[in-house]
Copies of this chain bind each other. A is one copy, B any other.
Amino acid sequence: MKATNTDHSLTNIYYYGSDKILVAVDCIIFGFDIIEEKLKILLFKRLVEPFAGQWSLVGSFVRKDEDISLAASRILFELTGLGEVFMEQLRSYGKPDRDPGSRVISIAYYSLIQINDQLNNLHDAQWFEIKDMPKLVLDHDEMVRDAQEQLKQNAIRRPIGFNLLPEYFTLPQLLKVYKEIYQKPLDDRNFRKKILSMDLLIKSNEKDKSGSKKGAFLYKFDKEKYQNLVKKGFLFEL
């Protein structure tokens, strides 16, 4: 079907007669503090009015020709210097008055990073335990709640907890990650059985002795094997 002139003018009305809106991307950045064994969130102090100086998620406007997921990556990179990190779209927030500064639709992403990576601490960023979080600007508290819920849900279906740990990690560490994500106690024997039965961990001969005298064996997540299983449509239940 070929376009006619009439169609084109319709198109013009359709596209150019419609309202353009500021679109932001905000990131909920989760990290696992290996020392304190706590799941934390990275917050920073908002630079602009309204609410300058108050705690906020990191965010930025989407640029005219920028992919939204790339915008999210850009923000994360600017703040942390990290390139390849686990990041997924949460959902969009679009109440007309959610930002008193202007009408802004925000697309939230959450990401899982290793906390001890050094931050480009340009922005007065700081890690908070979720229960100790200050009140955030705009609807960012809601975003955090939603992200936490999403993280729980997704951690059941896919092995994503690894993203919060360094390449090599111990099973006790991984157990603690999952305890923090689910916010409930987990039996260590059952956890080991389940996680090892997935057959996605590569055991090394090294031990990490930082946590105990005996030392715990270091494991590595088998990304390739995982990708292959995903390709075959395999379903996980953690």
Residues of A in contact with B (beta carbons under 8 Å apart): 1, 3, 7-8, 10-11, 14-16, 18-23, 47-50, 52-54, 61-69, 71, 89, 91-92, 94-96, 101-105, 107
Determine whether the beta carbon of A102 is less than 8 Å from that of B19.
no
Q: How far, in angstroms, from A62 to B23 measured CA to CA in the complex?
A: 12
Q: How far is the CB of A155 from chain B (nearest CB, A)?
A: 14
CB of B102 within 8 A of CB of A61, answer no
Structural contact, B63 and A3, CB atoms closer than 8 A: no
How many copies of this chain does the complex contain?
2
Taken together as a complex, chains A and B put the C-alpha atoms of A85 and B23 apart, in Å, by 27
Closest to A98 in B: B67
Please give, as numbers and ranges, the residues of chain B lying within 8 Å of A66 by CB-CB distance.
96
* A3-B49 contact given A61-B18, A62-B21, CB 8 Å threshold: yes
- Check A64/B21 contact, CB under 8 A, given A48-B14, A49-B11, A92-B89: yes
Instruction: Please name all residues of chain B whose beta carbon is closer than 8 Å to the beta carbon of A107 when the two chains form the complex.
Output: 92, 94, 105
B22 x A15 contact (CB < 8 A): yes
Task: State in angstroms the CA–CA spacing of A102 and B96 once bound together.
Answer: 23
How far is the CB of A46 from the nearest CB of chain B, in Å?
10
Chain B residues closer than 8 Å to A53, beta-carbon distance: 1
In order of increasing CB-CB distance, the 4 nearest A-B pairs are A68-B94, A20-B20, A18-B61, A11-B49
Report the Cα distance A49→B7, complex, angstroms. Answer: 6
Query: A11: which B residues are within 8 A, CB to CB?
Result: 48-50, 52, 101
Residue with the highest number of chain B CB atoms closer than 10 Å, among A52, A94, A103, A104: A94
By a CB distance below 8 angstroms, the chain B residues around A47 are 10, 14
Q: Please, which residue of chain B has its CB at the minimum distance from the CB of A91?
A: B89
Residue in B8, B67, B102 whose CB lies within 8 Å of A95 = B67
